[in-house]
Amino acid sequence: MDNPILQKKIIIFIVILWVINEFRASVLTPLLKQLMSMNAMNGAISDMGSGLYKWQRQCISSFS
């Protein structure tokens, strides 16, 4: 690891990941819990999830 530019990029990347993780832990998790507690939203969320999953699968299969 003698390349300082690469080291800098790796450190920045790790910091960004950490920030995203902290944001997810402090903001998204309570938000998701709040959404999950609303039973009306529960069905919509699972529909969206399965729709996204199917779409993701289609994208992967079309590229491979």
What is the 3-state secondary structure of 4-57? Answer: HHHHHHHHHHHHHHHHHHHHHHHHHHHHHHHHHHCHHHHHHHHHHHHHHHHHHH
* Total number of domains in the chain: 1
Residue 31 structural domain: 4-63
Residue pair 22/13 in contact (Cβ under 8 Å)? The answer is: no
Residue 1 clears pLDDT 60, i.e. is over it: no
Write the DSSP symbol of residue 64.
-
User: What pLDDT does residue 56 have?
Assistant: 78
Distances (CA, A) of 62 to 1, 2, 53, 57: 38, 40, 14, 9
Residue 36 clears pLDDT 80, i.e. is over it: no
Residue 15 clears pLDDT 80, i.e. is over it: yes
pTM of the predicted structure, to 2 decimals: 0.40
Q: What is the mean pLDDT of residues 25-41?
A: 72
